């Protein structure tokens, strides 16, 4: 029986193409997910219902019998016949994108699209499917569209198809574009500096009301080559040593005056404990306890803040903090901290600022009190605030 999820989109059911029963049923997906991944099958294409059905049966047979999976991997498939075919469907967890299967949908176009894009009939079908998923609530209103390659070591969905979807609505271009711009501010993307793929991704809801300023507390850089080398080292340390999903910060700035994408505008970071899911973080590369960043770096940070506000990534009434304002740390260094305290939006009256003497005491005993929430510590140190 054919499945009609939306009036304008016909989805051909598993029975229609002769699917085998799954070996076992996977858990249910949430009713609405925030992520969808685009794939290709990297094999032969099809332009008739019969040839598409045959290919799907072959894919399912290989994945069950040879790979030991419970069913065909993707949630839906699209052929160059313009038809949409049900795989695991709307409600079942797939086996398509490691680390994301239980919180995303996938749609795979039948064929190999490394050298050429799917035909217009197939592309129209994919776009109609996305509209259908949004209208019926299977995708959240602000869902993110990704290519498989953005979170896995793969060429999927092929270079040609990948270039096509980068122009689509909801595509999360901050992950892959050469520059991410708003107003006159250019942000050098992850691809530009050679970032590794993240282990996993959690979506950050925009706009946020807080921005935290950090320093990396290491070497600084005045050339793009040196900054890129430092960025790769930071990401490697954060993933391989710290065990985090990615480089910690939303953005990083060098003394070369350039802004580098970390986790970007729409991904939760690992920068400020207790605040990651509701804030952005900008970290200046270097150690700024005794010296301030140069003018190029400071101008870049201010430009990024203006850009973020104008583009709606942060509230117009956002609050600016130094990392030390909410954590037992010297970050972003005394010299940089004194600079940002004079900037617009800095919250110098929050009641969370710890005096230097009290901060030094807490920092000295950080190994003892590291597990105590900052909100509890504040009850003891508020009398000493600035």
Question: Both tokens of residue 262?
Answer: 């970390």
Average pLDDT over residues 183-199: 81
Domains 3-171 and 179-353 share a fold: yes
**At residue 364, does pLDDT exceed 60?**
no
Instruction: Indicate the pLDDT class of residue 215, thresholds 50, 70 and 90.
Output: very high
Instruction: Kindly state the helix (H) or strand (E) to which residue 250 belongs, with its residue range.
Output: none
Instruction: Indicate the pLDDT class of residue 168, thresholds 50, 70 and 90.
Output: very high
Instruction: Indicate the pLDDT class of residue 5, thresholds 50, 70 and 90.
Output: low
For the chain, domain boundaries: 3-171, 179-353
Contacts of 61 (CB under 8 A, 6+ apart): 20
Query: Angle at the Cα of 305 (from 300 to 308), degrees rounded to 5?
Result: 120
Choosing among 3.40.50.1980, 3.30.565.10, 3.40.80.10, 3.40.50.300, the CATH entry for 179-353 is 3.40.80.10
pLDDT value for 256:
92
Q: Could you count the other beta carbons within 10 Å of the beta carbon of residue 24?
A: 7
Instruction: Kindly state the helix (H) or strand (E) to which residue 204 belongs, with its residue range.
Output: none
CATH number for the domain formed by residue range(s) 3-171: 3.40.80.10
List pLDDT tens digits, range 118-162. Answer: 999 999 999 999 999 999 999 999 899 999 988 776 889 999 999
Q: Between residues 29 and 176, which one has the greater pLDDT?
A: 29
List pLDDT tens digits, range 104-124. Answer: 999 999 999 999 999 999 999
pLDDT value for 372:
52
Quote the CA–CA distance of 250 and 263 in Å, as a whole number: 4
Nearest Cα neighbor of 69 from 101, 30, 104 is 101
CA atoms within 13 A on the CB side of 22: 18
List pLDDT tens digits, range 252-295. Answer: 999 999 999 999 988 999 999 999 999 999 999 999 999 999 99
């Amino acid at each position: 029986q054919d499945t009609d999820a939306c009036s304008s989109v016909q989805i051909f059911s598993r029975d229609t193409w002769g699917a085998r029963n799954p070996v076992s049923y996977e858990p249910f997906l949430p009713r609405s997910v925030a992520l969808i991944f685009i794939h290709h099958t990297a094999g032969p294409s099809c332009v008739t219902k019969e040839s598409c059905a045959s290919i799907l049966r072959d894919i399912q047979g290989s994945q069950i019998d040879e790979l030991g999976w419970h069913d065909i991997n993707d949630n839906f498939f699209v052929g160059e016949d313009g038809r949409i075919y049900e795989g695991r469907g709307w409600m079942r967890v797939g086996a398509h994108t490691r680390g994301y299967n239980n919180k995303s949908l996938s749609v795979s176009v039948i064929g190999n699209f490394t050298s050429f894009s799917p035909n217009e009939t197939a592309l129209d079908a994919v776009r109609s499917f996305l509209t259908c998923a949004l209208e019926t609530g299977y995708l959240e209103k602000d869902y993110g569209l990704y290519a498989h390659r953005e979170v896995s070591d793969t060429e999927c969905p092929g270079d040609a198809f990948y270039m096509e979807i980068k122009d689509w609505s909801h595509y999360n271009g901050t992950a892959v574009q050469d520059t991410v711009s708003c107003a006159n501010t250019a942000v050098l993307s992850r691809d530009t500096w050679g970032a590794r793929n993240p282990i996993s991704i959690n979506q950050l809801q925009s706009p946020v009301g807080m921005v935290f300023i950090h320093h990396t507390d290491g070497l600084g850089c005045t050339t793009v080559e040196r900054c890129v080398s430092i960025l790769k080292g930071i990401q490697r340390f954060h993933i391989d040593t710290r065990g985090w999903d990615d480089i910690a910060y939303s953005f990083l700035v060098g003394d070369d005056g350039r802004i580098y994408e970390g986790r970007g505008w729409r991904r939760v970071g690992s920068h400020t404990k207790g605040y990651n899911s509701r804030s952005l973080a900008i970290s200046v590369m270097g150690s700024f306890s005794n010296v301030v960043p140069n003018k190029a770096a400071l101008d870049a940070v201010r430009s990024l803040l203006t850009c973020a506000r104008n583009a709606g990534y942060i509230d117009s009434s956002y609050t600016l903090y130094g990392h030390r304002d909410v954590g037992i740390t010297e970050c972003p260094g005394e010299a940089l901290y004194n600079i940002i305290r004079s900037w617009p939006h800095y919250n110098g009256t929050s009641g969370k600022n710890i005096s230097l003497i009290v901060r030094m005491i807490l920092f000295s005993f950080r190994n003892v009190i590291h597990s105590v929430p900052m909100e509890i510590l504040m009850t003891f140190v508020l009398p000493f605030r600035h």
